[in-house]
Amino acid sequence: MNRSPLTQRPAWKALAMHYQEVKNLHLRELFAQDPQRSARLTCEGAGLYLDYSKNRITDQTLHLLLNLANEADLEQHIRAMFRGDKINLTEDRAVLHTALRAPRDRSIEVDGHDVVPDIHAVLDRLSVFSDQVRNGAWKGFTGKSIRTVVNIGIGGSDLGPVMAYEALKAYATRELVFRFVSNVDGTDFAEATRDLNPEETLFIVSSKTFTTQETMTNAGTARAWCLEALKEPAAIARHFVAVSTNAAKVAEFGIDTDNRFGFWDWVGGRYSMDSAIGLATMIAIGPANFRRLLAGLYAMDEHFREAPLNQNLPVLMGLIGLWYTGFFDAQTVAVLPYDQYLKRFPAYLQQLVMESNGKSTTLDGAQVNYQTSAIYFGEPGSNGQHSFYQLIHQGTKLIPCDFIAFGKSLNPLGHHHDLLMSNVFAQAEALAFGKTAAEVKAEGIADGLVPHRTFEGNRPSNVILAEQLTPESLGSLIALYEHLVFTQGAIWNIDSFDQWGVELGKVLAQRILPELESATEPELKHDASTNALIRKYRGWRQEQRF
Ligand code: F6P
């Protein structure tokens, strides 16, 4: 694979020169000069329609970006991932979340072992268990059926399940209540359980490693909460199940190993929402709908694998994103789903994108001399319009936007959906084309106000549409971003599948904890600021008397 430094490759240099030529081109001109632009710069795949015409690109930009992908051997990288090569170099692991949605008749080998039958065996067990909880056959210790499912997990073991649960609520049983506890702040557990009956509550302890401090602390608190009410240790087997790769730690915690649903080290935490980590999702929407979700993910996998790069949604979006970060120095991407059910989608993407590509060391151990991951943020529309859109329209920063919307509402109420959709289209139009000073003046606006009321425009966006929010279209959307991240990581030549950046803080917290809790005054050897903060907290802690 091509390992010459990215910025010294011909396509990068050509893009740098091209940027100087096109940086001042306005989307107004690009559209005016080319009536076919909108028809040409759209693409469809796996049930999604992408309009990328409102980006600051020309045909030459696209040509050069595709050259960049070719010079990085993107297609070879894609094949290596799907084949199960150990492309997560720093952890010496395969990256095979795509195998999680492969049909039963596929064969994918890791170290000479076909993993597809293992995946389907777990899916089958999950389906049986989910049905039992859904139909009331799974009884709590005192013989009552389960009414509330509480998922305890953090990061990928929380954000995926909670995002998918919220996104697919329209498909979920309303007979069961779902809660998600992630934060080590006791408030999260306390609020999630304050109105629950332990006899009717099922905890899913979701943790790939089963060692994560937050999750193990919350799981321990949940066990104590359950035992306080139900008294007998035997109750744990009826009220706790685990999702983990670590069978030994699950047993050590006291969860019956028959109640463990496994997955594998080649599934990264932030890529695990469709593994057994999706148990809460499956209980909510049922096994059949969960398989529809898998089908959507698989459809986008196939599109990513098969479609030519210039008609490949994740590749196009990845390259265009890289164009803004690499050459326009854009720092962020706003993800703006115009669907209330996708309210947790931006939070989910934050981990997916930033934990994957927030890296500054190349696979060869060198420091990068170019920007990597953009900061992702967002809110559902139209709420965001009344919050931070002001800055996107008239601020000093270039913020590429991804608008996501659906043609058919799951809750058609009056003309709400027409209003919603008119807002998506209007926002993308306003950002791209703005409003000139002449147009403002022509409206009779006082001279002094004209600069304030002018919209520069030329602010880029993608519009992603699907017919309706379904398990399939959600799956396609998730895989779209997974593969966008992959495309960018492959070109930036970074390991998108490790997360060493989360380690240092964890280690330091372990050192600080006994210093906070020690009965005698500890000898503090941190920097002066940290020492002072610890002393300040110890003072309050003594007053509170734990
Ligand atoms: O934040 C680091 C991280 O390892 C994430 O990558 C992961 O999703 C999360 O912690 C939770 O890990 P686990 O599932 O092992 O509890």
Angstrom distance (rounded) from CA 288 to CA 197: 29
Q: What is the pLDDT of residue 4?
A: 86
Q: What is the pLDDT of residue 2?
A: 58
Whether 374 and 325 have beta carbons less than 8 Å apart is answered as: yes
Kindly indicate the confidence band of residue 252, based on its pLDDT and cuts at 50, 70 and 90: very high
Where does ligand 1 bind, in terms of residues with CB under 6 Å? 154-157, 207-209, 212, 215, 269-270, 355, 499, 502
Distance 148 CA to ligand 1 centre (A): 24
Across the range 124-136, mean pLDDT stands at 98
Q: Is 506 a catalytic residue?
A: yes
Kindly indicate the confidence band of residue 203, based on its pLDDT and cuts at 50, 70 and 90: very high
**Cα dihedral sign for 79, 81, 83, 86?**
positive
Kindly indicate the confidence band of residue 53, based on its pLDDT and cuts at 50, 70 and 90: very high
Work out which ligand 1 atom sits closest to the CA atom of 156: 8
Residue 93: how many other CB atoms lie within 10 Å: 18
Whether 182 and 214 have beta carbons less than 8 Å apart is answered as: yes
Distance 439 CA to ligand 1 centre (A): 52
Angstrom distance (rounded) from CA 27 to CA 400: 13
Whether 210 and 253 have beta carbons less than 8 Å apart is answered as: yes
546 pLDDT more than 80: no
Distance 369 CA to ligand 1 centre (A): 28
Angstrom distance (rounded) from CA 226 to CA 350: 33
Whether 198 and 224 have beta carbons less than 8 Å apart is answered as: no
Kindly indicate the confidence band of residue 1, based on its pLDDT and cuts at 50, 70 and 90: low
- Tell me which residue of 217, 263, 221, 214 sits closest to 242, measured CA to CA: 263
Whether 404 and 336 have beta carbons less than 8 Å apart is answered as: yes
Whether 471 and 478 have beta carbons less than 8 Å apart is answered as: no
Q: What is the pLDDT of residue 132?
A: 98
Q: Which residues pair with 149 in a beta bridge?
A: 178, 202
Angstrom distance (rounded) from CA 283 to CA 277: 11
Residue 91: how many other CB atoms lie within 10 Å: 16
Whether 236 and 220 have beta carbons less than 8 Å apart is answered as: no
Q: Is 467 a catalytic residue?
A: no
- Tell me the pTM: 0.98
Residue that is written with structure tokens 């990264």 in the block: 268
Whether 293 and 168 have beta carbons less than 8 Å apart is answered as: yes
Percent of the chain with pLDDT over 90: 98
Q: Which residues pair with 129 in a beta bridge?
A: none
Q: What is the pLDDT of residue 544?
A: 83
| C-alpha dist (Å) from residue 463 to 122, 287, 418 | 36, 31, 16
